[in-house]
Amino acid sequence: MKDFLTDAVQTLVTFLQGLGQLGLFFVSLLVYSPRTLVRRPQLVMRQVYNSGAMSLTIILTCGLFVGMVLGLQGFDTLQRFGAEEALGTFAALSLVKELGPVLTALLFAGRAGTALASEIGLMRATDQLAAMEMMAVDPIRRVVIPRFLGGVISMPFLAAIFNMVAIFGAYLVGVSFMGVDEGSFWSQMYANVAVADINQGIIKSVVFGVVASLLAVFEGYNSVPTAEGVGRATTRTVVITAIVVLIMDYMLTAALIG
Amino acid sequence: MSEPRHEVPERDSPSCTESKVGEPDKAIVEIQDVAFTRGATRIFDGLNIRIPRGKITAVMGPSGTGKTTLLRLMTGQLTPDRGQILVEGKDVHSMSRTELYAMRRKMGMLFQNGALLTDLDVFENVAFPLREHTNLPERLIRHIVLTKLHAVGLRGTWRMMPSALSGGMARRVAMARAMATDPEIIIYDEPLGGLDPISMGVILRLIKRLNDALNITTIVVSHDVQEIASIADCSYLISNGKVIASGKPDELRENANPIVQQFMTGMADGPVPFHYPGPDYSEQLLGGSSE
């Protein structure tokens, strides 16, 4: 029992230390980010390409099929109530407010987050970060912040693209395959999706962008400089991001719905 | 668990920092009574080293004696538990971050594996410190980079990526990068490790030539005794956290200390045991347990 308590306390202390370390790391990113954005925009744009443009394939593919599944399931459920004309509203609200930001964040963590964590971890393992330090170049400003900002900027755009493709997927299934009236599909969506709903999605995608990018660069930067350490950091990035995104999704939804 | 230890007499002779007339050369780096512990292992305990200006100083010792750790202490990447490290008279570990970075701009360091930035080609790797610290026009950067690459014989590789270079070539490119800002001190961490004899000879000649031509201070950390001794003006031999011998390479070869002799002649067994301490061999073989 005593051993169990000692272990529990030790685990709690380690967790709090990690949390504190993450907090300080985040503060340092916030402090230096504006300067990097203004003085070195080309570094940030390169990372927008790496994190954003390079994630387009997975976002487009997954978005299309998520939308098609929504179209099928939505039609199947709504027709029981004779409300299949509301399929457009159903798909748009589900995607814009919830599925778009959350699934984009999870896909981002799996594609760009792992790439960020392993890239920075390998830079540490191969002394590239130490070499920068020796050249009087701060790796936080030169390596970490551009990658962090690249992820933060990319995420809302990726979520918007995911939503558009997914709505098209729902349209394809609902209108083209299931025979839902095209006019009803679009007009009901236009009438029932408010700006506040879209804002909810935008806020979520920005917050998830910060969370996913922060966790990826933090795990990579603090990884143990071995092959095993980099692998572990990459895995932790995906697992922790998924957990934190889903927890924050509930909290944000509760706060935004009020 | 700590490293196996063996008792050795300490010798902190500053002989290699004295000129022929007995006047001490002005030291550019001074390591004074430094102690450093990592985990349960005491890496250094009362280490004293003086690096003379404008010479090639070799820091040698068996694997695991903390040679790379010493370089990281010297450059402010690690902080000692005790003692001082002075670079040009200033304590490295009481410097602010700005002062530390200003000091590092006067240094170039070659890491064991070259540590080239893998997302940049050879040209951009050498240009990296210039782009970060200066506002030189592109034409001048191009001129400097090609000059440095030419000096290490790799001008033709300027558009190659680091992954396409051999180990020896990567280190030569890293040398060009270390020289890019014309530093006063160049530090080499195991520059010869894993190289073929031709690459080894090329690197050795480059170290010597750069030191003489640019009149810089060179610090080489290595366990390649014969090769490094052939170019070093003075050498320090570290073991068990202390300097056990120092002097010109010939003086080290004539040193009577058994550890120095074992190291200089490359004997497998001696005061530094071949076998890591463990239970009796036959007992362990016959015991069958995992202990």
Measure in Å the smallest separation between the Cα of A138 and chain B Cα atoms: 9
Q: Rounded to the nearest 5 degrees, what angle is found at the Cα of B116, between the Cα atoms of B119 and A56?
A: 15
Range of the domain at B230: 15-257
> In which element (H, E) is residue A255 found?
helix A227-257
DSSP state of B2: P
Residue entry with tokens 């299934």: A173
Residue B3 clears pLDDT 60, i.e. is over it: no
Q: Given an 8 Å threshold on Cβ–Cβ distance, is A134 in contact with B104? A: yes
Mean pLDDT of B58-79: 86
- Could you tell me which residues come within 8 angstroms of residue A124 by beta carbon, excluding any fewer than 6 positions away? A130, A220, A221, A223, A225
Q: Given an 8 Å threshold on Cβ–Cβ distance, is A130 in contact with B101? A: no
Q: What pLDDT digit, counting tens, does each position of A108-157 carry?
A: 999 999 999 999 999 999 999 999 999 999 999 999 999 999 999 999 99
pLDDT, greater one: B47 or A246: A246
In a mutational test of the A interface, the residue from B119, B163, B188 whose CB has the highest number of chain A CBs within 10 Å is B119
Is B48 within the bounds of a domain? Answer: yes
Q: Per-residue confidence at A104, pLDDT binned at 50, 70, 90?
A: very high
pLDDT, greater one: B190 or A230: A230
Q: What pLDDT digit, counting tens, does each position of B150-170 carry?
A: 988 889 998 999 999 988 889
Provide the number of CB pairs (under 8 Å) joining chain A to chain B. Answer: 51
Q: What is the pLDDT of residue B24?
A: 52
In whole angstroms, what is the distance from residue A232 CA to residue A120 CA? Answer: 13
User: Which token pair is B140?
Assistant: 């001048």
Torsion angle of alpha carbons A170, A176, A177, A181, nearest 10°?
80
pLDDT, greater one: A103 or B89: A103
Residue B21 clears pLDDT 70, i.e. is over it: no
Measure in Å the smallest separation between the Cα of B187 and chain A Cα atoms: 10
Burial of A176 (0-12, 13-18, 19+ CB in 10 A): exposed
Is B281 within the bounds of a domain? Answer: no
Burial of B135 (0-12, 13-18, 19+ CB in 10 A): exposed
Burial of B220 (0-12, 13-18, 19+ CB in 10 A): buried
Cβ atoms within 10 Å of B164's Cβ, excluding its own? 12
Q: Given an 8 Å threshold on Cβ–Cβ distance, is A134 in contact with B113? A: no
The answer to whether residues A209 and A156 touch, using CB atoms and an 8 Å cutoff, is: yes
Cβ atoms within 10 Å of B88's Cβ, excluding its own? 14
Residue of B101, B108, B113 lying closest to A127 (CB–CB) = B113
| DSSP string over B19-52 | -TTSPBPPEEEEEEEEEEEETTEEEEEEEEEEEE
> What are the phi and psi torsion angles at A9 (to 5°)?
-65, -45
Is B266 in a helix, a strand, or coil? coil
Q: Which residues of B touch A (CB under 8 A)?
A: 72, 75, 77, 101-102, 104-105, 107-109, 111-113, 115-118, 128-129, 132-133, 174, 177
In order of A41, A44, A149, A209, B133, the CA distances from A36 in angstroms are: 7, 8, 9, 18, 15
- Could you tell me which residues come within 8 angstroms of residue B143 by beta carbon, excluding any fewer than 6 positions away? none
Mean pLDDT of A83-110: 94
In whole angstroms, what is the distance from residue B266 CA to residue B131 CA? Answer: 44
The answer to whether residues B49 and B28 touch, using CB atoms and an 8 Å cutoff, is: no
How do strand B41-52 and strand B27-38 relate by DSSP bridges? antiparallel
Range of the domain at A212: 2-257
Cβ atoms within 10 Å of B31's Cβ, excluding its own? 25
The answer to whether residues B223 and B214 touch, using CB atoms and an 8 Å cutoff, is: no
Q: Which residues of A fall within a CB distance of 8 Å from B104?
A: 133-136
Mean pLDDT of A201-225: 95
Is A105 in a helix, a strand, or coil? helix
> In which element (H, E) is residue A82 found?
none
- Total domain count, chain B: 1
Q: Which residues of A fall within a CB distance of 8 Å from B127?
A: none
Q: What is the pLDDT of residue B225?
A: 78
> What are the phi and psi torsion angles at B45 (to 5°)?
-145, 95
| CATH at residue B61 | 3.40.50.300
Residue of A128, A134, A142 lying closest to B109 (CB–CB) = A134
Chain-centroid distance of CA B253 in Å reads 20
Q: A42 touching B, CB under 8 A?
A: no
Considering chain A, what is the average pLDDT of its residues?
A: 94
In whole angstroms, what is the distance from residue A42 CA to residue A40 CA? Answer: 5
- Total domain count, chain A: 1
The answer to whether residues B58 and B220 touch, using CB atoms and an 8 Å cutoff, is: yes
Q: Per-residue confidence at B290, pLDDT binned at 50, 70, 90?
A: low
Is B25 within the bounds of a domain? Answer: yes
Considering chain B, what is the average pLDDT of its residues?
A: 83
Residue entry with tokens 């990579």: A220
Measure in Å the smallest separation between the Cα of A116 and chain B Cα atoms: 13
In a mutational test of the A interface, the residue from B79, B104, B110, B125 whose CB has the highest number of chain A CBs within 10 Å is B104
Q: What pLDDT digit, counting tens, does each position of B186-234 carry?
A: 999 888 877 788 878 888 888 898 888 888 999 998 877 778 888 888 8
Which of A191-195, A227-231, B189-193 has the lowest average pLDDT?
B189-193
| DSSP string over B127-194 | HHHHHHH----HHHHHHHHHHHHHHTT-GGGTT--GGGS-HHHHHHHHHHHHHTT--SEEEEESTTTT
Residue entry with tokens 């980079």: B145
Q: Given an 8 Å threshold on Cβ–Cβ distance, is A133 in contact with B102? A: no
Q: What is the pLDDT of residue B247?
A: 84
Q: A136 touching B, CB under 8 A?
A: yes
The answer to whether residues B38 and B90 touch, using CB atoms and an 8 Å cutoff, is: no
Q: A257 touching B, CB under 8 A?
A: no
User: Which token pair is B67?
Assistant: 């040679």
User: Which token pair is B25?
Assistant: 């050369």
Q: Which residues of A fall within a CB distance of 8 Å from B115?
A: 126-128, 130-131
Is A64 in a helix, a strand, or coil? helix
Residue entry with tokens 């191969």: A126
The answer to whether residues A178 and A84 touch, using CB atoms and an 8 Å cutoff, is: yes
In whole angstroms, what is the distance from residue A162 CA to residue B203 CA? Answer: 54
Burial of A102 (0-12, 13-18, 19+ CB in 10 A): buried
Q: What is the pLDDT of residue B288?
A: 64
One-letter amino acid of A24: L
